[in-house]
Each structure stands twice: as C-alpha cells, then as structure tokens.
Amino acid sequence: QVQLLDAGGGLVQAGGSLRLSCAASGGTLSSYAMGWFRQAPGKEREFVAAISWSGGNTYYADFVEGRFTISRDNNKNTVYLQMNSLKPEDADVYYCAASFTGGLMHQEASYDYWGQGTQVTVSS
C-alpha cells in the first residue's frame, strides 16, 4: 500500500513562497497521477493542482492564477507544489493524493491514497 508523506508547510508572509513535497513509499509514484488539495477548518477539501503520470499534463484550480506549479520527480518518488505570491487566503492544510486510475483529477473520489497534510500559514 502506498504511503504519502507531505512536508514543507510553515509560516510565511504574504507575497512569500513555499515548496511543498510529497514523498511516496510502498509503491512506485510513476504509477499514479498525483494531486494537491487543501482544506480550511470547517470547510470542504478543495482541489489545488494535479499532474499526470509522466508529468506531461498539469491542471490547476482557477484561484491558483499562475502562482503555483506542480511537478514530479519519479526517480525520487516525490511530487512538489511550488507556491509563490502567497496570500492570506491560501492558508490551509495541504494534502497530496495519489490516483491509480486517473479520471477527473479535481475530484477527491478519483484518488486512492492521501498524505497526512501539512499546514501552510500566511501572515498579512
């Protein structure tokens, strides 16, 4: 069974940057399409970005507006989310997820495995 370990969250000032990482164990990451979601307290989890098995296709939520970049290094079994120009409203717990079958990558139901989440805090 694949296990995902999210890391890289922290406190950053508005306008700053963070790079989240998601390391996989127990499986080969290249077998999975990958996504990032985020969730604020009391709210539903929302889609942020996704990347295909090979990395050739990427997908982003509208609110990203070119500020975030998802990438993957299958040799390192790791997926990244580079977040620039962070805003206070980006403060959430961010989760990576792995999808074996792909499908609608913006939907939670498409994913088979989830990381434990990493907290991002953005001060204004």
Q: What is the pLDDT of residues 12-65, one digit of tens each?
A: 999 999 999 999 998 888 889 999 999 998 999 999 999 999 889 999 999 999
Find which of 52-56, 102-106, 112-116 is predicted with most confidence, using mean pLDDT.
112-116
Q: Which tokens hold the place of 60?
A: 């982003």
Q: Which tokens hold the place of 113?
A: 């495995």
Cβ-contact 26, 1 below 8 angstroms? yes
- For residues 84-109, one letter each, b for 16 or more C-beta atoms within 10 angstroms of the residue's C-beta and e for the rest, the string is eebeeebbbbbbbbbbeeeeebbeee
Cβ-contact 59, 50 below 8 angstroms? yes
- For residues 22-49, one letter each, b for 16 or more C-beta atoms within 10 angstroms of the residue's C-beta and e for the rest, the string is bbbeebebeebbbbbbbeeeeeebebbb
Give the pLDDT confidence score for residue 122 in this predicted structure.
97
Residue 71: phi and psi, rounded to 5, are: -150, 170
